[in-house]
Structures are given as structure tokens and as C-alpha cells.
Amino acid sequence: MAGSSQDQSTRHPQDDPLSSPVQFLKGVGPLRAQLLEKLNIRTAQDLLFHIPVSIDDYSELCTVPELEAGTEQAVYGEVVDRDVRHLRGGRTLTGVLLNCDGHFVRGVWFNQPWMLKRFKEGDRLIFRGKPAHRSGRWEFNNPSVSPLHDDEEPDQSAGILPRYPLTEGIRMEGMRKMTRSAAMALADQLLDPLPAFLRERLELPDLPSAVRALHAPADRDEWEAGRRRVLLQDLLEFQLGLALRRRMTRQLTAPRIEVSARVNARIRRLFPFRLTAGQESAIQDLIGDLNSEQPMHRLLQADVGAGKTAVAAYALLAAIAADCQAVLMAPTEVLAGQHWETLDELLAGSRVQRGLLLGGMPAARRRETLQQIADGSMQLIIGTQALIQDSVEFHRLGVVVIDEQHRFGVRQRSRFSTGGFSPHVLVMTATPIPRSLCLTQFGDLDVSQIRDLPPGRQKVITARISNAAEEQKVWAFVEQQVAAGRQAYVVCPRVEGQSENDNASAEQLFAQLRRGPLQQLRLDLLHGQMEREQRHTVMDRFRSGDTDVLVSTTVIEVGVNVPNATIMVIQQAERFGIAQLHQLRGRICRGSHQGFCFLLSESETPEAVKRLTALTETTDGFELAELDAELRGPGDILGLRQSGAMPLRYADPIRDLELLKQSRVIAQQLIENGEFDSSDCSDLRAVVLLRFSRLFDLPQTG
Ligand code: ADP
Ligand code: MG
């Protein structure tokens, strides 16, 4: 969508006021332009697409004498008092008193004591809701609250004003003036890539009108329609990119891999356990996919410890049995090494030729391995991203398994395809992905889930530890467990300290524990700033039981497998997200011993308490993922947008789920009924390809 300065490469910048630097716009100037850059606003066009998060409807604003009981209204005033009352049954009532032009109005909230901290005296607020008159005073029960910025003077005549994300140094009023004036001056210049027939069908305003409505709405409906149009376009372009990719991959062929009863039995005999129902059904899905010339594109979602490796092994061995090569790619060398050990053990006594390909291999070994891969003598290759470098040539590649998919994009996946040929691809992730995200990020994948765990698996017992006395007990517990033969991880948010005795720092905590509470134990330190060799040595020592306690950063997050490690102590746990804590905790449910996880956190913010409490209450990763999405609200789920893996510009797959579903249907229709290839859609095609051909490896011409 026309939203970022890079997309303007097709036009000449001099002719195009939209792509000129934002500083030249009226009311901006070099100083503000610098601040706007923090919001990724560089060109005039970027400013036009700075999307308001909501609107303030000042036309609803009342003076206190105008209030009517039970009607939706809003008042504006300054906070003069706040209190929390403790009621019977442990309930609380929080009150905030506003002075509204000499009249007092109270806002009240039941059981939300943290509301007290959200406001302070002198804050200027708007309460919205249905007021009631109680004991001679107006009261809003559970009102919605908009804080006012320093320079805002609300009055009814202001009408409807958009609210924007801001950055330090730019105030709401200033932002409003800039966007409004830019929209008035420039919105007409925007090319609308959506053809008229589609706009009519979907009842969407054209792009210039939509952008004007965003920044200078006449009423709420107009603003909402404008916003819907811009978000829908963002989603639609993305879904069209995905649909094109699907169309393209449908033209690729993969070797048909039929799993005979004999092969099936031979593979199963290798596993030292009975497969769980979840593993079985994932394998059935696989068998169906492999038995086709359509390349498989399947996502296997299963919580840590659910046994994804066995499913992966099944796919790899099925390919090898059909005389194809098979590849397993992991995101880190540690993980690749672990997969190697697991599979090497599984295949002990088999004739399968197997090898490891890592980035840091000696040149001669690497050359030899590449040769064996190219001539097909190596049947099973395990490695890291080193596998998708140009120098690697495969020989009749049948199956690729990619572990921990969220670190790899669609593009990496397609690196295994060449000249109309593609292997079957299975991607695996332990990060439970909310359904809505599956539709976007993984929109071109079929999904299998494993929801059960192997039998006898103990659920990790998790506790939140919020004071020093309890913390001492934790260290005593660690000593006791080590005496019983177990090992422990201590995880810190940072490597280096920012102050003395900074227990968020792995280095400092390591030193402290060694001098203090854990001086009797064998401690070691692991973090990402250490040399690779040294890291491997530390991990090996821990794995072989030569170390009792490993103090580390989150380098141990993904996949590390030491079944004897059953305790995890996480420092300043509030600094981690739910997903990350869940991943970390997954490190200690690998064996048959009971695991214990201690979340150390003194933070009392409601958000932190809620997150940490959730972890103490459930170990179901899918449940936690949904809660995580809910708590974070619209925003950056799993850090995808930040990592560049989230290809949406304005829309949010969770907040805008309904639009997302709509856009998916529209995109599929447009592609399937041929409309997308018609001349009416030529602008839209150009925009989609410009935006997604690299990310999705689409051909440059549609
Ligand atoms: P993940 O899904 O996290 O990759 P793994 O494949 O590493 O999980 O499996 C975790 C542990 O569970 C391994 O030690 C593996 O041997 C064991 N395991 C896997 N499947 C089963 C099963 N069906 N029954 C018993 N143990 C199993
Ligand atoms: Mg795994």
C-alpha cells in the first residue's frame, strides 16, 4: 500500500510532493522532522499514513449542569482527590474526584485498586459513560477515561478530533495540525490502487477521501470508514501477496513420497516410546501430504516437550526411504547439535548416511560435506542457516524440516526450491501462535497441532517470588535439589550490570551467588557475548553434570535439552513476556523429575502481576498465547513487527481480526475469479508485487 517512502521508486521524486521530505510541509520544519523520524515518518506520504488510534468526540462533552442520568455523556475536569475504600469481602472501590469548572464529579471503579496509580492530582481527564446522581453528586461508574495533553483545551466546538501515537517533543495539538494540513493539501495526489469496481463492491471510500477522513473527519462514521479502508487495503495487499504465492507454489512439483506399510513399521520401530495421539495425528497429516506431487507446506505447532522431533524424524526417514535427500534446519548451532545427537542415536545401527552442516566448520570439512550433499551420498543433513547458502546444492531433496519457524520467514523456506521443483516442507514451532496470527504470518501453511504431552510428564510447578525472605528459601531449595542430584538454571535479563549488585545481570549475580547463597555448589556462567567455543564448553559441562547451576541469559531459551535440570530461577521475571517465560520454563520439563520454576519479581504493576500469575496457573502454551495476545492488546505479538517478520504496516492481526478474515476471502476471490489479472487491477498488482515480491519470492511480473 502507498505507505512508505520506499514504494515511491516508480515515480520521480521531484515531480512527487508525496515523497518529498516531511520537513518541507507547512508547520513541520527541520526540528519537528527530526522528531517525526522516531515515528518512522520521513516523507509527506508517511505523515498522511500516520494513523490515529482513536477519536475524541468533543461534541458529546457536557457541563455538569447539563448531565442527565443514564445517558452516554462526557465531562472534562481536573483531578483533585483520589482514594481506595476497602469494602466487605476483600473488595475495593477506587474513586477519582474531578473538579469540572467548579462542580465535583466522581469516577468509581470496583476491584481495580491500581486505577489509583494511573492518575495523579492535577491531571486533566475526560470521563465518558452513563452518570448517576448519588448523595448529591454525579458519579460515573467505571467510566472510560481519556487523559488530556498539556495543550489540549477541550470544548464542544472542537467537534471530532483524531488521537495519534506521539513521540517526545510533539504534542497532540501539534500533530493534529500537521496531519490535517498535510491531508488537506496532499491527499488528492494519492493514487488509489483499488479499482472502482472493488471499492463499490466493498463500499469503501476512495483513498484520498479516506485519508482526509482519517485526519479531518466530519463525524465518527466517516472517520471509521476511512480507517477501515486504510487498514483493509493493508491487509488485502498482504493477503493478495500470500494468495499469489500459493498460486505459484501450486505450480511447483515435489517428489511423491509413498509411505508403505513396511517403511512405516521400520520407522516406528526406531522410537523407544509409543507415539502420543497428537504425534500420531500429525504423522497422518504428513503421510497424506507427502503422497502427492503438490509440495507440502505444513506448520506443526506443539508446545515444548510435546515431541516434535519424532514427527520430524518420521518425515525425514520417509523421504530417505523413498530415495530422497532430507534436511533438518535449526535456528542455532546448539539446537542443530542437539538434533544431530538425537537423530544420530535414533539411527545408530542404520545405514542412513548423515552429516552436520554448520557455519563455523573448518573449510576442508565443509567442502567435503558440500560435495557429499551435492552427489547425493549424504542422505540426511542437519544444520543451521548455513544450509540455505548458495554454495549448497542438494540432490533430489524430498523433505525439509525447519525447526522453530518464527525465526525464519517465508523467503528462507523458498530457498530450497529450484526450477519448478520444491521439496515438501514441514515447519515446526513451539511458540503457540494465536489463531489470528496463523492467518497472517503463516497464511500459506496447513496447520497440525499436538496438544497432548507424552505420558508421565510432570507439569512444572511455578511460583511467583516477590520478597527477599522468600528468595532466600529459593536458594536453599536449589541447594537441596542439587543435593538430590538435580541441576538448576538461573536466568537473568542482562549480561552486564548497570549498578553494583545488580541481580538482573548474569555476571554480577553469578559472582554474588558464588560468594553467597550457593557457595557450596559448582556454578557456571553462560551468555551470548561469550565466544562460541567457550559457550559450547560451558553447555557441555552442564549437560554432562559437571556443573550444578548455570547462571545465564536467555541464550538457553530455545530447545536446550538437559533432562536432569529441573529448577529454573528467573530474575526480574517481569522483564520477560509470557511467551518467553513459557519457552524458558520449557527447559525444565524434559525428564521424568518434577520441575520447579521460580519467577522472581518485585514488580506490583497489574500487568506484570497478571502475566506472572497466569504462568503460575497454567502450563498450557496455547492458553498462555491467547492470554498474551489479549494482555498486550493490539501491538507487537511475539516481537514479529520489530523483527521485520510482520509484513503488515497499519493493521494488527489481533485487533483487526475481522478485517483480516474479510481481506483473506476477498483476496482469494479476486485471484480465483481472474479479476486480479484483469487490466482494472493493474495498479493493485503493481503495488502488491512491489511490496511483496521480495518477501515472498514472487516473480517480478504478475
Ligand atoms: P519438542 O517438541 O520440544 O521438540 P522433543 O521432540 O525434544 O520435544 O521431545 C521431548 C522429550 O520427550 C524427548 O526426550 C523425547 O525423547 C520424549 N518423547 C517424545 N515423544 C515421546 C513419547 N511419545 N513418549 C515418551 N517420550 C517421548
Ligand atoms: Mg524441539
pLDDT digits (tens, 9 = 90+) for 346-389: 999 899 999 999 988 899 999 999 999 999 999 999 999 889 88
628 pLDDT tier (thresholds 50, 70, 90): confident
Helices (H), 135-260: 172-186, 196-202, 207-215, 220-250
Residue 45 phi/psi, 5° resolution?
A: -65, -40
> Fold match between 62-153 and 461-618?
no
Q: Which whole number is the average pLDDT over 620-637?
A: 69
Distance, CA 310 to ligand 1 centroid (Å)?
7
pLDDT of residue 314: 98
Please tell me the residue having the least CA distance from ligand 1 atom 10.
305
Q: Is 273 in the pocket of ligand 1 (CB under 6 A)?
A: yes
* Exposure class string for 464-500: b at 16+ Cβ within 10 A, else e: bbbeeeebeebbeebbebbeeebbbbbbbbbbebeee
Report whether CATH 3.30.2350.10 matches the domain 461-618: no
Atom 20 (ligand 1): residue with closest C-alpha?
307
Contacts of 136 (CB under 8 A, 6+ apart): none
Q: How many other CB atoms are found less than 10 A from the CB of residue 90?
A: 7
Whether 275 is in the pocket of ligand 1, judged by its Cβ within 6 Å, is yes
542-570 mean pLDDT:
86
Nearest CA to ligand 1 atom 4: 308
Q: How close is the Cα of 481 to the center of ligand 2, in Å?
A: 26
| CB 283 less than 6 A from any atom of ligand 1 | no
Q: What pLDDT is recorded for position 439?
A: 57
pLDDT for the residue 9:
43
Average of pLDDT values for 236-253?
87
In which residue are the cell numbers 559448582 written? 522
pLDDT level of residue 409 (50, 70, 90 thresholds)? low
Q: Which residues touch 679 (CB under 8 Å, ≥6 apart)? A: none
Check: CATH 3.30.70.20 for 261-291+307-429? no
* Residue to mutate, 273, 280, 556, ligand 1, most ligand atoms under 8 Å from C-beta: 273
pLDDT higher than threshold 70 for residue 602: yes
> Predicted confidence band at 649 (pLDDT cuts at 50, 70, 90)?
confident
Cα-to-centroid distance, 311 and ligand 1 (Å): 10
pTM of the predicted structure, to 2 decimals: 0.66
Q: What is the mean pLDDT of residues 579-593?
A: 81
Q: What percent of the chain has pLDDT over 70?
A: 89
Find out whether the beta carbon of 308 lies less than 6 Å from any atom of ligand 1.
yes
Give residue limits of the domains in the chain. Answer: 1-57+173-187, 62-153, 261-291+307-429, 461-618
| Pocket flag, ligand 1, residue 591 (CB < 6 Å) | no
CB 101 within 8 A of CB 63: yes
Q: Is residue 566 over pLDDT 90?
A: yes
Give percent above pLDDT 90 in the chain. Answer: 53
Distances (CA, A) of 60 to 57, 66, 127, 130, 151: 6, 11, 11, 12, 20
Nearest bound ligand to CA 310? Answer: 1
Q: pLDDT tens, 27-82?
A: 899 999 999 999 989 999 999 999 998 888 777 788 999 999 988 888 999 999 99
Element (H, E) at 219: none
Instruction: Check if 454 has its Cβ closer than 6 Å to any atom of ligand 1.
Output: yes
- The answer, yes or no, to whether any atom of ligand 1 lies below 6 A from the CB of 307, is yes
Please tell me the distance between residue 273's alpha carbon and the centre of ligand 1 in angstroms. 9
Residue 430, ligand 1, Cβ within 6 A: yes
Q: Does residue 598 have a pLDDT over 80? A: yes
Q: What is the pLDDT of residue 65?
A: 92
Residue nearest to atom 17 of ligand 1 (CA): 307
Q: What is the pLDDT of residue 635?
A: 45
Residue nearest atom 5 of ligand 1, based on CA coordinates: 307
| 340 pLDDT tier (thresholds 50, 70, 90) | very high
CATH of 62-153, one of 2.115.10.20, 2.60.40.10, 2.40.50.140, 3.40.640.10: 2.40.50.140
Weakest-pLDDT range from 479-483, 533-537, 640-644: 640-644
